[in-house]
Structure 1
Amino acid sequence: MSAGPDVSPRPARNGRVVLVCVGIVAGMTGLSFAAVPLYDMFCRVTGYGGTTQVASAAPSAAIDRKVTVRFDGNVAPGLGWKFSPETISMSVSVGETKLAMYKAKNVSDKPITGTATYNVTPNQTGAYFSKLQCFCFTEQTLQPGEEIEMPVAFFVDPSIAENRDLDDVDEITLSYTFFPAKSQKSASAAGPERPKS
């Protein structure tokens, strides 16, 4: 009578399957942590999703094309601030450097630290909207009742004229939203922070 099939390779095969599954889970976990910084880098490079560009210098000359830049300011729930642009809109020559001011006020009875995110619409213009100075992603601490002005220096890159799909764009909206900072600082320890210039 035959002894039957040999089943000894099966535990080795199961071990390989477990090892592959653990490797896949570890790889997916690593990719999930890398996804946010990689997506952020992709958006900054391409302007995807209305992400603006950061410039170190303004263009040498403006071109004969005007756009209206509108300004928007929002506060996320849980942040006891008022936040708004001082000017609702301005006419800008493409390539011309302009300065816009926003105001923030802590309307609560305690020090609060906030940080802002931004985007522009239409989304396709993000690759051409460049900021020379901005308060975004910098934590701002305001004391109770304190009010500050926050400048944004920007320009619309003249290379927008080379994108024929954007010929009909004559209005761009720059929008900021302030959120509570992840780590609220003690105002007595840190003191109020000011926008970096």
Structure 2
Amino acid sequence: MIRLPANKNARVAGIAALGAVVMIGAAYAAVPLYDLFCRVTGYGGTTQVAVGEAGAILDREVTVYFDANTNRNLPWTFEPVQRSMTVRIGESALAYYTATNNSDQPVTGVATYNVAPYKVATYFSKLECFCFTQQTLQPGESIEMPVLFFVDPLLDDEPHLDDVTAITLSYTFFESQDGGSANTDAAP
């Protein structure tokens, strides 16, 4: 048990300091906890990361549009190689994005993603992705990054998703806050 000082001013100062420590800890924990919440629930268009192979391939097709954004503080050019592709539900597809470091020094970035419309996020599965993996680019360096994905055939079993004919996969690159080197051991 924490013993508070007998002096009233010291007690208030101690409580305020403890409150500040708790708030700083909560601020550091907020991003990983929110990310975990989004991955588990599909909230905010967060896709599911698939393990293994896609199921049956259906005749139903959807057009997948690819979107790329960079935070204004990241000196990169980031764009999809193709703007869209039409895929059959259940069929694995491979898309590419390119990134170029426009600065005169090495820069490490990390991408987040989401899917629109949000109601299909849990049915959009990535088998391989560069998201949440730090990418370090040397000055002037360009890289091509693949995304292997499929739309889960279970989408076709949901009557409220019959109107879905297009899906947008959107990535946003941010400068890595820890400035670490690229992590090549991360999961998709």
TM-score by length of 2: 0.81
Deviations 1:152-176 (A, max 9, x none): 0000001111221111010000000
CA positional deviation for 1:26: 8.8
For structure 1, the residue ranges without an aligned partner over 5 or more in a row are 1-21
Instruction: Tell me, yes or no, if structure 1 residue 87 matches structure 2 residue 82.
Output: yes
1:161–1:193: structure 2 CA closer, same or farther, 3 Å change rule? closer
Q: Return 85-94 or 32-41, whichever deviates more.
A: 32-41
Residue number in structure 2 paired with 1:126:
121
Question: Is 1:42 paired with 2:33?
Answer: no
Match for residue 152 of structure 1? Answer: 147
Partner of 1:62: 57
Distance 1:74 1:61, change over 3 A: same
Q: Distance in 1 between matches of 2:44 and 2:110?
A: 20
Q: 1:29 to 1:139 in 2, by over 3 A?
A: closer
Amino acid at match of 2:74: L
Structure 2: give runs of 5+ residues left out of the alignment: 1-16
Query: What is the CA–CA distance in structure 2 between the aligned matches of 1:98 and 1:178, rounded to whole Å?
Result: 22
SS at match of 1:160: helix
Matched, 1:138 2:133: yes
Which secondary structure does the structure 1 equivalent of 2:171 belong to? strand
- Asked if 1 retains the 8 angstrom alpha-carbon contact of 2:133 and 2:182, the reply is no
Q: Structure 2: how far apart are the matches of 1:114 and 1:66?
A: 33
Q: Give the distance between the partners of 2:179 and 2:20, measured in 1 at CA.
A: 34
How many angstroms apart in 1 are the aligned matches of 2:87 and 2:155?
13
What's the TM-score once normalised by structure 1's chain length? 0.77
Query: Structure 1 residue 136: deviation in Å?
Result: 0.5
Asked if 1:104 corresponds to 2:108, the answer is: no
Alignment partner, residue 162 of structure 2: 167
Structure 1: how far apart are the matches of 2:54 and 2:71?
34
CA contact (8 A) 1:142 1:192 kept: no
AA of the residue aligned to 1:142: L
Alignment-derived partner of residue 18 in structure 1: none
1:28 CA displacement: 7.9
Cα distance change, pair 142–194 in 1 and its aligned pair in 2 (3 A): farther
Structure 2 vs 1, CA of residues 115 and 165 (structure 1 numbering), >3 Å: closer, same or farther? same
Could you list the structure 1 runs, at least 4 aligned residues long, displaced by more than 3 angstroms after superposition: 22-39, 190-197
Q: Could you tell which deviates more after superposition, 176-185 or 146-155?
A: 176-185
- Answer whether contact 2:133 2:183 (CA < 8 A) is retained: no
**Superposed CA offset, 1:129-162 (max 9, x none):** 0000000111101011101100000000011112
**Aligned partners of 1:150 and 1:195 also within 8 Å:** no
Q: How many residues align?
A: 175
SS in structure 1 of the partner of residue 53 of structure 2: coil
